Amino acid sequence: MLIFRDQHLTPAQHVAFSRRFGSLETHVISEALLEGYPEIYVISNVVENGKPKGRAYAGTYWHSDLSYMAVPAMGSMMYALQIPEIGGDTMFANMYLAYETLSMGLQRMLDGLSAVHDFGHADQRYFSKRGATARLNEASRKKTPPVEHPVVRTHPTTGRKALFINPGFTSHFVDMTEEESEPLLAYLFQHITQPAFIYRHRWQVNDLVFWDNRCTIHHAIRDYGEETPRHMHRTTICGDKPVPV
């Protein structure tokens, strides 16, 4: 992670800086894209003239951005425009440490497994509780069919192994049912989100935070009132297909 305080970025500058690190994704939820800048995904609970300015409940669970795509994101850059006076932090967990602190026996078992990642899993588990306006529409569901990724991936730059699963999008292990997968996934999800692996970012206006989705997961904490504005711009940098161990 890299944290840049007190940045003053126009959308064009945000996009231009992000492009220095690779091509940019256009998020599948098109209604949350910034007008004129489809590379910017708006994460916001602000409503203007009766119309939401972005996606209000995005990321309010542990996940790695776009792990539900065949080629997941490399990194994300989030720029804070409005934040709550209290609350609205984001937690990040280190997936290198999560893997390295497992027993050797469990590491060997996980090295040979793949898992299914599905945007619809988050839709059913989290967004369905928020009502119809938070749900994925049919077009978004069709663009994001389930995909398979190795449970342990080798980072292409560092060569280190990291767990590549998350509660938001990982539904089950390949060749296992969800019922069979649930006990081990539950243990792993508890393990990877323990406090020893977590950095909690307290946002300030004009923060730009850049994180690597290949070795972290994150969770936006929704502990502020519905009428309290939280308005962010995010770019997402294209990645590479996860390489198994």
**Which DSSP string do the residues of 81-123 spell out, in sequence order?**
EE--SS---EEEEEHHHHHHTS-HHHHHHHHT-EEEE-HHHHH
pTM of the model: 0.94
Q: What is the pLDDT of residues 167-216, one digit of tens each?
A: 999 999 999 999 999 999 999 999 999 999 999 999 999 999 999 999 99
Does the residue 245 lie in any domain? no
Cα(32)–Cα(53) distance, integer angstroms:
7
Residue 222 sits at the vertex; the CA angle it makes with 220 and 226, to the nearest 5 degrees, is: 140
* pLDDT at residue 131 is higher than 60: no
> 27 catalytic, yes or no?
no
Q: Which residues lie below 8 Å from residue 232, measured CB to CB, with a gap of 6+?
A: 42, 43, 44, 54, 78, 79, 80, 81
> 234 catalytic, yes or no?
yes
* pLDDT at residue 105 is higher than 80: yes
Does the residue 244 lie in any domain? no
Does the residue 178 lie in any domain? yes
Does the residue 64 lie in any domain? yes
Higher pLDDT, 83 or 135: 83
Q: Which residue is catalytic, options 55, 63, 153, 222?
A: 63
Total domain count, the chain: 1
Does the residue 243 lie in any domain? no
> 130 catalytic, yes or no?
no
Measured in Å, how far apart are the chain's first and last C-alpha atoms?
A: 23
Range of the domain at 221: 2-238
Residue 6 sits at the vertex; the CA angle it makes with 95 and 29, to the nearest 5 degrees, is: 55
Does the residue 52 lie in any domain? yes
* pLDDT at residue 137 is higher than 90: no
> 121 catalytic, yes or no?
no
Question: In Å, what is the CA distance from 69 to each residue of 54, 64, 73, 77, 177?
Answer: 21, 11, 8, 18, 21
Q: Which residue is catalytic, options 172, 201, 218, 230?
A: 218
| Mean pLDDT, all residues of the chain | 94
Cα(139)–Cα(229) distance, integer angstroms:
28
Q: Which residue is catalytic, options 65, 118, 207, 212?
A: 65
Q: Which residue is catalytic, options 14, 219, 222, 234?
A: 234
- The CATH number that applies at residue 14 is 3.60.130.10
